Amino acid sequence: MLVGAIEAGGTKFVCAIGDKENQVIERVSFPTTTPEETLAHVFAFFDKYEVEAIGIGSFGPIEVNEASGKYGYILSTPKLAWKNFDFIGAMKARYHVPMGWTTDVNAAALGESIFGAAKGLTNMLYLTVGTGVGGGAIVDGRILEGIGHPEMGHLLVKPHEHDHYAGFCPYHGNCLEGMAAGPSIDGRLGVAGKDVDPDNAVWDYIAYYLGQAIVAYTVILRPERIVLGGGVMKVPGLLNKVKRSFETLLGDYVPVPASDSYLVLPGLEDDAGITGALILANQQL
């Protein structure tokens, strides 16, 4: 018995075939171009197999509300060719199997909760800090979605007293994403994060914003662990700064696991999303 999985990223697509233990049997990857061209690659891959379900973790925003007429669509993305694209509709027209549909970060959260750094935990959160900030949560073993999927990166934050950057988010300026995602570093210093000294004060600012956000996730969701992924989190020392910032800001009010086990780097690295999409496929059966 085989299942299929798609990690639909804004830059590249990963497609995989797996078994019912979520082991990858074959995988391919190709750039995200137009929906027509990209789906042609997807079809060429899946046509070779007989899959019994497909799981998709997609860049967003997407419609996940099954009561909506736009369920399965990509919504108002800045990638204009994909805006209002009926992704699940296109897939269902070709493959008559059950399909799981969620965001890329929700899929990554699911993957990390089953096989990664939060293995076996039923209440956890996955946050990625890269070109944007996004997150997905597992609550009681299930992906958290209300009338739509979370937008964890658009929390409002208090500016650091020494940070005069206005933020790059086109909607909120200085929300978490606007102040802590990769482009904010270039916005402040004119160079990419990878070229900035780990002792630069900018990492203290970013740790301050992430600490505030982690307080919010903590008091609202009370997860057992938070996995911090994405390129920005690979900066040496940043995870420790985030832990100290979080501890100071939380002020010992809510009991949380010791921060070394509470705030951790991913276990699956770049495989979290496709692994989660495979799990999602198997959950449809």
Give dist(CA 264, CA 258) in Å, integer: 11
**Which stretch in 81-89, 190-198, 228-236, 249-257 sits in contact with a copy of itself by CB under 8 A?**
249-257
Q: Which range of residues in 38-46, 184-192, 218-226, 270-278 is near a copy of itself by CB under 8 A?
A: 218-226
Angle at 200 between CA 105 and CA 260, to 5 degrees: 50
Q: What single DSSP character describes residue 169?
A: B
Residue 43 vs 262, nearer CB to a copy of itself: 262
Site for a copy of itself in 78-107 (CB under 8 A): none
Q: How far is CA 96 from CA 88, 135, 139, 144, in A?
A: 11, 30, 30, 26
Contact status: 230 vs a copy of itself (CB under 8 A): no
Q: Does 212 bind a copy of itself (CB under 8 A)?
A: yes
Rounded to an integer, what distance in angstroms lies between the CA atom of residue 135 and that of residue 176? 12
Q: State in angstroms the smallest separation of the CB of 205 from a copy of itself.
A: 15
Binding segment (CB under 8 A) for a copy of itself, from list 8-16, 38-46, 79-87, 146-154: 146-154
Contact between 8 and a copy of itself (CB under 8 A)?
no
25, 5 contact by CB (below 8 A): no
Neighbour tally for 10: CB within 10 Å: 16
- Contact positions toward a copy of itself, by CB under 8 A? 61, 123, 137, 139-140, 142, 144-159, 171-172, 212, 215-217, 219-224, 249, 251-255, 257
